Structure formats: structure tokens, C-alpha cells
Chains A and B, each alone.
Chain A
């Protein structure tokens, strides 16, 4: 998990509320990613960013938003439009042109 931090570790949200998950990396990586993990489904890509001020939708972007104002930071907002937000969220980063991604420890979001 070294080099990438996610906070908080656990997050509880009421229905209808937006919530923002933090992801910070000190690896000097250009690319950052957000994944959602549900039991038995592996990881699904929500958003990714190759450089500052640029990001692309992944496979399941609906109901989520991101920003990339700094190289080190890639926060994810789970909006009230996300119908089933309870999941484990993982942030990752990689070098430009690099291959393996390095993952943070994750945030478990529960909607009450």
C-alpha cells in the first residue's frame, strides 16, 4: 500500500447525501485510477486520469465525479445519483507508460 493513502478507511452515508473519498500519492505518478470492488465481481474502473486537469470515464462512471487539480490528489465524489453506492473503493496510480498499478488501502463506503 506504500505511497498511496486513502481516507477515511470507513465511511457511512445517509441516502441522498454526496460524499467525497480522498486519494493522495507521493510516488510522483502521472496516472491515477478509481475502482469499485463488489463481492464476486472483481474490480471495475470508475474514472481515470493520465495528467493533471484531465480525466476520463471508466466503465461505471454514472453517479460519480472526480477532479484532478494536483498531481498528487484524485478525489472521488459519490453523488446521490449513484443508486447502489455501498462498496469498497480502491484508488491506484502508475507511471506514464508504466505498466503495473499501485493501490491504496481502500475506503469502505456504507449507505445507511
Chain B
């Protein structure tokens, strides 16, 4: 079965430190992977995606993600965290059954402390 796992419910980071939010996936065929961010009582905002090509993908707000096929992972990273990065982060994979359906992980809450 196709799935996305975000193993950490919450990640705590000090401002200025690097951050990593983990994501692993299970899908048949080549994966199309996405990261979204959600602020309280708001919709999801697209951060970045991996379709093909370079394993390191750069996205919005200084975020980047590294695709690792052997480990079936797509971890979100940022070199220096900001307090304003505190939000709920979702990893998603495109359903290989088509129709551009996305399968979402349960989300990871990122808390950046001053």
C-alpha cells in the first residue's frame, strides 16, 4: 500500500540552528514528492517538490529537501531556523494510480524557540 510516514509529531529547534523534518514514503514506481506548510487556521502552502533530476530540491523561504531513493526518504531541511518557521509541515506523495491524488503524512509540528 502506498503511504507516507512522518515519524516525529513535533520537532523543537533553537533559532539559528539547522532544522530537519523527516519523511519516508512507500509508493510503486517513481515517486513524486511534496512538502507543504500550514499556519494555524490556514490552508496549506506549497514549499517544494521532487519529480526528477537533482536529489537536492530548493524551495520557498530557504527550505530544501533531499531525495534519497535507497532510503525512500525526502527530508525537509533549512540551514538556519527562524521563529516564524514554526508551523505544521506535511509531506505528500502522488498516488501512482493517477488522477494526481496526493497521499499525505500525518504532519510534523515544528517549534522554533528564540
Contact = CB atoms under 8 A, between A and B. Distances in A.
Interface residues of A, number: 30
Interface in B74-112: 90, 94, 99-102, 104-107
B45 A99 contact: no
B44 A90 contact: yes
B51 interface: yes
A100 B46 contact: yes
Contacts of A108: 41
Given A40-B106, A99-B32, A31 B100 contact: yes
Contact of B106 (A33, A42, A48, A100): A42
B29 interface: no
B42 A1 contact: yes
Contacts of A48: 99, 101
Interface of A: 1, 4, 6, 31, 33, 40-45, 48, 50, 56, 58, 88, 90, 92, 94, 97-106, 108
Given A1-B45, A41-B106, A103-B45, 18 more contacts: A1-B42, A4-B43, A42-B104, A42-B106, A43-B44, A45-B101, A56-B99, A88-B41, A92-B44, A97-B100, A99-B94, A100-B34, A100-B49, A101-B46, A102-B46, A104-B43, A105-B43, A106-B43
25 contacts: A1-B42, A1-B43, A1-B45, A4-B43, A31-B100, A33-B101, A40-B107, A42-B106, A43-B90, A50-B99, A90-B44, A94-B100, A97-B100, A98-B100, A99-B32, A99-B51, A99-B100, A101-B102, A103-B44, A103-B45, A104-B43, A105-B43, A106-B41, A106-B43, A108-B41
